[in-house]
Chains A and B, each alone.
Chain A
Amino acid sequence: MRYPKNTWIAYVFLTPVLVVMAVLVFYPLIKGISYSFTNMNQYNMGSKFIDPSYEWVGLKNYKELFRSFIAPKSVFRDVLIQTLIWTFVNVFFHFTIGLGLALLLHRKIKGRGIYRTLLMVPWAVPSFVGAFAWLWMYNDKYGFFNLMLKQMGLATIPWLGDSFWAMVSVIMVNVWIGVPFMIVTLLGGLQSIPDSLYEAARIDGASSWQQFRHITLPLLRPVAVTATTLGIIWTFNMFNIIYLVTAGGPIHSTEILVTYAYREAFRNWNLGLASTYGVVILSFLLVFTLIYRRVLKSNQEVNY
């Protein structure tokens, strides 16, 4: 290693960040976890003038969560399933559409720059503006989609009024927003594959499908794994789009864990229970990240 070992200087340079992280991230994180063992609500949470007066309740919140999970009719379980559907469907379309378009953009065609710029638009537009644009297009009476359906003589669709269509609608918005990031990342991956590999394959008489299968896919794997993993974490945590487009409705049908936890905290003011949701979300993502690091490591072993 040619870089100097210099712990003292390194820590001087690191001090500001370490202090900020300790005060603004780790302290609140520990606090947040500890709240999940309390009965905190809006009356006992304290304020600038009043000291907090919430009490420890041990595992009560966790028991309640578990009980509602195994209950015959359970909103919490529905939300959990919706979170998984939401995450899987979104990332699936982000990846497949993103890969398809990246492969097309990777070809040497006329107007590639223009296509690329246009395809980046959903990413460049602030996400809340994108959400509002779709909200307007979904409008029952005057929205673009229903007017279009009417003009074609078809029945209109209750985009945001029906639990199935609301999920479809909000997923379409999130797919629209998320595809550009995938295109950029995968295009970067494709461009880093040396042309000489394809040339050698062509000389050996490999078909385009064989080239794709045996050169493109394996060499793209590390980038693809990283991008989809980040995608899964971001989608799992995606609060804005759901909150802005459907607000979790109708009747919880598009609620995911983070929006549900937020509602529990800042609408129902069950801060203790909401913190328990927070811990559940944290555990999910931690387990996922650990598995992901494993996959990445075994991935590297395959490549080198």
Chain B
Amino acid sequence: MQKSNWWVHVLLTIASFIAVFPVLWILSTSFKPESEVFSNTIEWIPQSFTLDNYKAVLTKSNGIFLTWFKNSALIALFTTVVGLVLSTTAAYAISRFRFFGKKWIELGLLITQMFPGALLIIPLYLIVNKLGLLNTYAGVILAYSTTAVPFCVMMLKNYFDTIPYELEEAARVDGLSHFGTFYRIVLPLALPGLAVTAFYSFITAWNEFLVAITLLNQEQMYTLPIGLQQFVNQFNTDFHYMSAAAMLITLPVLVFFIVAQKYLISGLTSGGVK
């Protein structure tokens, strides 16, 4: 059988190459001096390897890049915490109890998960503006919660569904209250599910662009996606800086994703699409 498989390898190699090439190309660009970046020949590997682009990105305008990094990290972190704290009990209720209106709540969650920011952005902008929360973390986190909360409920509900109910029955028989059962029995068992949900919630907030660019217009408050766009807009030719910044943003996520890949993908397929 091995012999007839060569074309499978050829196709997969081509596809893998296309998948990683753009990332490798900015990786290569990020180590090139300006003269090599803007040259008329293709240099696959930097001829005169340099770290100047990284230094420039990290020190530019008093380290504004690090401020953006901090903004992004804090906003994504708080959104994740808010999303998880608010949604865990609800996800459990939907998974475990029968109650009046359950179907409608599930449908409502599904629909809000499907209609993203683009629809709600105008009223959210006006609310945040009215509250005086433009250019604050709170305003953005508030707006992100509109998608993060239903997303977390759906993901966690699907995870709770996979935890056997017998354990809870036993706990209830032993005299634990509903809350006690949830807190002491279910929550510890659901930790892997919580971790996966947290990861996706974090990444969604980390990547978000539409809400951020609408609610944040002071450079000090930018998140990374908006900040990176400034590199392209303001300094139209600074692709070498942009590449270095892009690699700094990507590397932690990429490494984590590759290490935790198996876990994350099974978490998604048992959670997200069902």
Task: Find out whether the CB atom of B214 lies under 8 angstroms from the CB atom of A266.
Answer: yes
Residues of B within 8 A of A227 (CB): 273
Task: Find out whether the CB atom of A9 lies under 8 angstroms from the CB atom of B97.
Answer: yes
With contacts A14-B105, A144-B42, A239-B209 known, is A129 near B249, CB below 8 A? yes
Q: Choose one: B119, B123, B131, B225; the contact of A128 (CB below 8 Å).
A: B225
What are 22 A-B residue pairs whose CB atoms fall within 8 Å in the complex? A7-B99, A9-B93, A10-B98, A10-B102, A13-B97, A16-B87, A18-B105, A24-B142, A31-B123, A104-B12, A117-B258, A119-B16, A119-B19, A120-B261, A124-B254, A128-B224, A129-B246, A133-B23, A134-B22, A141-B38, A262-B118, A282-B115
The residues in B between 101 and 141 inclusive whose CB is less than 8 angstroms from any CB of A are 102, 105, 108-109, 111-112, 114-127, 129-132
Q: Does B86 contact A (CB under 8 A)?
A: yes
Could you list which residues of chain A lie within 8 angstroms of chain B, going by C-beta atoms?
1-7, 9-11, 13-14, 16-18, 20-21, 24-25, 27-29, 31-32, 35, 45-48, 52, 97, 100-101, 104-105, 107, 109, 111, 114-115, 117-122, 124-130, 132-137, 139, 141-142, 144, 147-148, 150-151, 176, 179-180, 184-185, 188, 223, 226-227, 230, 233, 237, 239-240, 243-244, 258, 261-262, 265-266, 271, 274-275, 278, 281-282, 285-286, 289
CA distance A160 to B225 in the complex (A): 21
With contacts A4-B98, A20-B145, A282-B115 known, is A32 near B40, CB below 8 A? no
Task: Find out whether the CB atom of A121 lies under 8 angstroms from the CB atom of B123.
Answer: no
With contacts A115-B16, A136-B243 known, is A13 near B90, CB below 8 A? yes
Q: Does B54 contact A (CB under 8 A)?
A: no
Residues of B within 8 A of A180 (CB): 19
Could you list which residues of chain B lie within 8 angstroms of chain A, going by C-beta atoms?
5, 8-9, 11-13, 15-16, 18-20, 22-23, 25-26, 29, 37-42, 85-87, 89-90, 92-94, 96-100, 102, 105, 108-109, 111-112, 114-127, 129-132, 142, 145-146, 149-150, 153, 165, 178, 182, 203, 206-207, 209-210, 214, 224-225, 228-229, 232, 239, 242-243, 246, 249-250, 253-254, 257-258, 261, 265, 268-269, 273-274
Task: Find out whether the CB atom of B130 lies under 8 angstroms from the CB atom of A48.
Answer: yes
Task: Find out whether the CB atom of B26 lies under 8 angstroms from the CB atom of A136.
Answer: yes
Residues of B within 8 A of A100 (CB): 11
CA distance A278 to B99 in the complex (A): 33
Residues of B within 8 A of A243 (CB): 209-210
Q: Choose one: B119, B124, B131, B206; the contact of A126 (CB below 8 Å).
A: B206
Q: Is the interface of B mostly helix, strand, loop or mixed?
A: helix
Residues of A within 8 A of B165 (CB): 2-3
Task: Find out whether the CB atom of B19 lies under 8 angstroms from the CB atom of A118.
Answer: yes
Task: Find out whether the CB atom of B15 lies under 8 angstroms from the CB atom of A25.
Answer: no
Residues of B within 8 A of A29 (CB): 119-120, 123
B265, closest chain A residue (CB) = A184
Residues of A within 8 A of B18 (CB): 176
Task: Find out whether the CB atom of B115 lies under 8 angstroms from the CB atom of A128.
Answer: no
Task: Find out whether the CB atom of A188 lies under 8 angstroms from the CB atom of B22.
Answer: no
Residues of B within 8 A of A223 (CB): 273
CA distance A25 to B123 in the complex (A): 10
A240: min CB distance to chain B, Å: 5
Task: Find out whether the CB atom of A16 lies under 8 angstroms from the CB atom of B26.
Answer: no
B119, closest chain A residue (CB) = A278
Q: Choose one: B19, B93, B250, B273; the contact of A226 (CB below 8 Å).
A: B273
Q: Is the interface of A mostly helix, strand, loop or mixed?
A: helix
CA distance A7 to B232 in the complex (A): 54
9 nearest A-B residue pairs (beta carbon): A13-B93, A28-B123, A124-B257, A17-B90, A133-B22, A10-B99, A118-B16, A10-B97, A7-B99
Task: Find out whether the CB atom of A132 lies under 8 angstroms from the CB atom of B20.
Answer: no
With contacts A31-B123, A136-B243, A230-B273 known, is A126 near B96, CB below 8 A? no
Extra 11 A-B pairs, beta carbons < 8 Å, given A28-B127, A180-B19: A3-B165, A10-B98, A13-B90, A17-B153, A47-B130, A48-B131, A119-B12, A129-B246, A129-B250, A147-B40, A230-B273
Task: Find out whether the CB atom of B23 lies under 8 angstroms from the CB atom of A121.
Answer: yes
Task: Find out whether the CB atom of A176 lies under 8 angstroms from the CB atom of B119.
Answer: no
Task: Find out whether the CB atom of A176 lies under 8 angstroms from the CB atom of B19.
Answer: yes
Q: Choose one: A2, A52, A133, A278; the contact of B118 (CB below 8 Å).
A: A278
Task: Find out whether the CB atom of B207 lies under 8 angstroms from the CB atom of A127.
Answer: yes
With contacts A129-B246, A147-B41 known, is A21 near B150, CB below 8 A? yes
With contacts A109-B9, A137-B25, A185-B273 known, is A117 near B261, CB below 8 A? yes
CA distance A24 to B23 in the complex (A): 37
Q: Choose one: B13, B118, B224, B239; the contact of A237 (CB below 8 Å).
A: B118
Q: Choose one: B89, B119, B269, B273; the contact of A14 (CB below 8 Å).
A: B89
B94: min CB distance to chain A, Å: 8
